Structure 1
Amino acid sequence: MSDFLIDEELLAAIDMGSNSFHLAIARVDHGEVKKVASMSEKVQLAAGLDENKNLTEAAQQRGLACLARFVGRLSSVQPNRLRIVATNALRQAKNGHEFIQKAAEILPKPIEIIAGREEARLIYLGVSHSMANGGRRLVIDIGGGSTEFIIGEEFEPIYTESLQMGCVAYSKTFFAEGEISNKAFDKAVVAARKEMSGIANTYKMEGWDTVVGSSGTIKACRQILVNLGLSDEQENLTRDGLYKLKDRLLKFKHTSEIDFEGLREDRRAVLPAGLAILYAIFDVLNIDKLAYSDGALREGVMYDLLGRFKHEDIRDRSVQALMGRYNADPKQAERVVNTAQHLFNGVADSLDLTTEDSDLLRRAAYLHEIGLAISHGGYHRHGAYLLQHSDIPGFSQIDQNHLSHLISHHRRKLRADAKNDVLKVGGHHLVYLCMILRLAVLLNHSRSDQMLPAIELSVVNDQQWQLSVSGDAKQWPLLVADLHDEQVQFKHWNIGLHILSDKFVD
């Protein structure tokens, strides 16, 4: 990845939501993201989840067809300036990996399934860049499968939550076949209130100055109220207007009858569920009015990507925060990082490793000892678990899975069958990074700044590696013993590690 983006260069984001897929293309203009093109299609992945939480073939085909159309608009965007994120529907789908594998044949970049709180962070980033700073704000985004709540100031989120309630999911549960009734609406409201019960007190105690909504449900409700003359003078969505909209909606008996001016036809089917969720939110959080922002997840994804180019990568801040939280030794981490990067540079060209691989290795090197906060015994497994199951700002589930495997295999014995697991998750590149990290940790077992012999790593081919140790290696007997042991572990993953030194017997 290049170090910077100049003005006029393009960025793009694909947001694979539970209800709709969105494509946004933007140019960079004096550090700001200016949208130049967009597409949106109602795919309704969440509606394609069967009773076993598997995506139906029909839903998968809708999604793949949409992505193929999006790709046709991306010819002017370089792949490293594109991010593709998926949200709640693919978080829930048990067979999501099948869809991702099919999509990989179409897309120029892998899909990143992001956690709920990461989705919330990115939504806040998109909203905050679209509005003037105005104190502390509460941002609400009702999606197809989940609803995100964020309290933040300026561009920094303070509280982020993602709750399992969305307009598509609630439509299936409470408004099956499109039928509308007071009883169904009340049940949906009660369910949303229950879902919010775990965050309501914390959020109300924290407080906010303004409330902002984003995405389709809130946009549709606001537009209806504006057209009906039921919004305030600033065209905000108000509590009184929302209650009147509820009364008007419940006069319809089926979603096909809904005929509010300005409501898109594809939004009719999910309007009752979306309105019920919004009604509950106003009630539980005691909201009087809500402004609307065009900024949303896709804009946040592009701003986050822009930050990576400008060396303001939230992932590096998250790594440092994790080290602090789990009291990782920063000096030892830095030693391992420096060694890992040196070894990486020696083999990167031969193994076709990328800058992204280098970044992943560096972050894993910083985090390799966080499991010590739980227990010294098997701390690599504890660290892997923490990385797999934590909410880490900036990281997708795939990123965290890669980090978890690196930490899990950085020490102790390598099982031959574990290599297949790593290959399945991250291919040969992740296998190579595992081996480089192992060597970097091994070479710093002394945990001191005492000078090590000059060491260079090279490869004859991907299955034959060579570690050159300058001088008389017998000056470092423990290192020699460790390297002998490591040769055995490398063989378990079908890599020969050959050690060259003036007085070292390989």
Structure 2
Amino acid sequence: MAKRVAVIDIGSNSARMVIYEKTSRFAFHILHEAKSRVRISQNAYQNGGNLQEVPMQRAYDALEDFLCIIASFKARKTLCVATSALRDAPNKGEFLQRVKSGLGLAIKVIDGEREAYLGAIACANLLPQQQNALSIDIGGGSTEFSLIHNKDILSKISLNLGTVRLKELFFDFNNIDGAKKLVDAELEKLDGLDAARLIGIGGTFRAISYAIQTNSNHPLEKLHAYTPNYKEFELFLEKILDADEDGLKKLGIKNSRFDVIKPGALILLRVLKRFKIKELITSGVGVREGAFLADLLRSSKDKFPANYNPSVRYLLDAHIDDLSHANLLAKVTKELFDLTCETLKIEKKYRYELGLAAKLCMSGSTIHFYSYNKHSYELIEDALEFGFTHEQIVLIATLARFSKRKLPSSSHIERFEALLPEANQLNALSYLLSLSVALLSHRPRNVDFTLHFENNVLEIVSKKSLYLARESVEKVEALKNNPIKISFL
């Protein structure tokens, strides 16, 4: 697979382009992203599904600029997929040929099941692992559903429901009852599916989640893996349907979505009423990420290897100069955790996050050594994108931020209180990581000491003097009422 790959997704409402760069076999990051609200399906549904000239020209112009951007990044491969608006259009051949002859771009029009599958493999691989989850991708012309269990895609269904379709056929004529009847009739095709979680893909779900997140002062400014409260979400949908434009603005809906947010909210509300959903999850990934992953993972059944995380691997590839030292930090930190977690009353479930924080805590040194903790925190918070809950991201970033002697500040704990473990456990985790950093301050090629813990005494045994380690350990901020005594032998 090429090192740089561009993906273009032509939807009914928007066209999007993203350029990915691989840093190792399965690790990648985004180099550039562009979006244009071309609304290629505008007025199509009132004209037998036929694409109209002005929207087609808008889409053509956007694609021309996308290709210019792709060329500037020297991407070696471009994948271009089109969904509902084109597959439904009797005159799609005219547009496809115009783009092929004028721009040299081959557009692959995918069917509804393939669209559902691409969105689902993006969620299955790039969200925290889900059991019994139903993904929903509300587009302009269709809505796709997939049943996901762990990383397996069990069902793929595409319905002729979309925000632009409902707008032009019903909402423009104030025929809300007609829209409800169509939605409910289409949703009958989902009979037999059962899911406790709903994963929201696409612009409608993200726009609503963003508004709720902003209004609730959620401490982490990240939509991917955000879990809005079910009751708040349902109430918000009802408010959208009752609001005028001024009301939508007050709710936090952007002007560009005023004309399509109500049809999308109606679809979501009817889905929530049909299923016994207990949890909502916002996905920042969808069809274009799925198209990229289908290409990247084609030799591994569209799944990452077991225990592999592309975000962690990207940070290690791009920002850890000495992987050997990072692995030693993780090893010593986890050993300290195993020895002392019961004494320090730390839940064992935090061992994974502590180990990752140890491995990544030096990542910021590639930006500026003297403030590497600050940069490590920011890198982890931003780039630890895929496969983690918001709670995990904030915990790992926090531990990295305070891995240099000092315990987390009260102001930091207060800011992220809703996402962090209770203070005593957080401080104990932070203390263990700082202790590990101190013990390895002389940067040995291999661990040159052994650890023993008995009767609340941690013994560090070595044939070497460990002079720098002794000095560094003394500077580590101790826990309040710390039960652990440290002895060098």
TM range (shorter): 0.5 to 0.7
Letter in 2 for 1:300: G
Give the match for residue 16 of structure 1. 10
> How many angstroms apart in 2 are the aligned matches of 1:237 and 1:57?
40
Does 1:219 pair with 2:206?
A: yes
- Conserved 8 A contact 1:137-1:151: yes
Report whether the alignment pairs 1:37 with 2:62.
Answer: no
Equivalent of 2:295 in 305, 310, 313 = 305
Query: 5 Å matches for 1:122-141?
Result: 122-141=118-137
Deviations 1:334-365 (A, max 9, x none): xxxxxxxxxxxxxxxxxxxxxxxxxxxxxxxx
Q: Which residue is 1:296 aligned to?
A: 286
2:249 corresponds, among 251, 259, 262, to 259
Distance 1:313 1:218, change over 3 A: closer
| Mapping for residues 417-428 of structure 1, pairs under 5 Å | none
CA contact (8 A) 1:79 1:108 kept: no
Alpha-carbon spacing, 1:55–1:166, altered in 2? closer, same or farther (3 Å): same
**Is the 8 Å Cα contact of residues 19 and 31 (structure 2) preserved in structure 1?**
yes
Q: Determine if the alignment matches structure 1 residue 244 to structure 2 residue 244.
A: no
Q: Distance in 2 between matches of 1:257 and 1:192?
A: 25
Distance 2:271 2:218 in 1: 18
Q: What's the TM-score, normalizing by structure 2?
A: 0.56
Which consecutive unaligned segments of at least 5 residues does structure 1 have? Answer: 315-506
Q: Name the Cα RMSD after superposition.
A: 2.7
Letter in 2 for 1:263: I
* 3-state DSSP of counterpart to 1:46: coil
Q: Which residue number corresponds to residue 86 of structure 1?
A: 82
Give the equivalent residue in structure 1 for 2:64: 68
User: Contact 1:150–1:160 (CA<8 Å) still a contact in 2?
Assistant: yes
What residue identity is the alignment partner of 1:225? I
Distance in 2 of aligned mates of 1:38 and 1:159 = 30
User: Residues of 2 paired with 1:33 and 1:126: CA distance?
Assistant: 14
Residue in 2 aligned with 1:353? none
Change (3 A) 1:195 1:312: closer
Deviations 1:65-88 (A, max 9, x none): 111111111115667621100000
1:271-295 Cα offsets, whole Å, 9 max, x none, are 1101001101111123233110111
Contact 2:4 2:75 in 1 (8 A): no
Deviation, 1:113, is 0.3
In the alignment, structure 1 residue 156 sits paired with structure 2 residue 143 = no
Cα distance in structure 2, aligned partners of 1:94 and 1:25: 31
Match of 1:338 in 2: none
Shifted more, 154-163 versus 130-139: the winner is 130-139
Contact conserved, 1:190 with 1:280, CA < 8 A, in 2? no
Maintained 8 Å contact 2:50/2:91: yes
Q: Distance in 1 between matches of 2:74 and 2:151?
A: 27
TM-superposed CA distance for 1:256, in Å, is 7.0
Amino acid at match of 1:24: V
Instruction: Indicate whether 1:203 and 2:193 are aligned.
Output: yes
Paired AA for residue 268 in structure 1: F
The AA in structure 2 aligned to 1:149 is F
1:53-452 matches, cutoff 5 A: 53-76=49-72, 81-176=77-172, 184-199=175-190, 201-204=191-194, 208-229=195-216, 235-253=226-244, 255=245, 258-260=248-250, 262-308=252-298, 310=299
Q: Distance in 2 between matches of 1:71 and 1:273?
A: 32
- Separation (CA, whole Å) in 1 of partners of 2:293 and 2:72: 19
Q: Indicate how the Cα distance of structure 1 residues 230 and 147 shifts in structure 2: closer, same or farther if over 3 A, else same.
A: farther
User: C-alpha deviations, 1:9-48, integer Å up to 9, x for none?
Assistant: 1111100001111101111133033222111111112223
Q: Give me the whole-angstrom Cα distance separating, in 1, the residues matched to 2:99 and 2:151.
A: 33
Q: Deviations over 1:288-339 (max 9, x none)?
A: 331101110000001112134x57689xxxxxxxxxxxxxxxxxxxxxxxxx
Measured in 2, the distance between the counterparts of 1:215 and 1:246 equals 16
Partner SS, residue 237 of structure 1: coil
Aligned in 2, Cα 1:231/1:203: closer, same or farther, shift over 3 Å? Answer: farther
8 Å Cα contact 1:238-1:288 kept in structure 2: no
Paired residue secondary structure (1:19): coil
Label 1:38 to 1:106 Cα distance change in 2 as closer, same or farther (>3 A).
Answer: farther
Judged with a 3 Å threshold, the aligned counterparts in structure 2 of structure 1 residues 228 and 69 are, in CA distance, closer, same or farther, namely same
Q: Secondary structure of the equivalent of 1:74?
A: helix
Matches of 1:129 and 1:117, distance apart in 2: 18
CA distance in 2 between counterparts of 1:146 and 1:101 reads 24
Deviates more, 1:96-105 or 1:235-244: 235-244
Moved over 6 A (4+): 230-234
Check the 8 A contact 1:282/1:288 in 2, yes or no. no
Asked if 2 retains the 8 angstrom alpha-carbon contact of 1:146 and 1:166, the reply is: yes
**Residue 25 of structure 1, aligned match among 14, 19, 29:** 19
- Please report how far the alpha carbon of residue 268 of structure 1 lies from its aligned counterpart in structure 2 after TM superposition: 1.2
> What's 1:417 paired with?
none
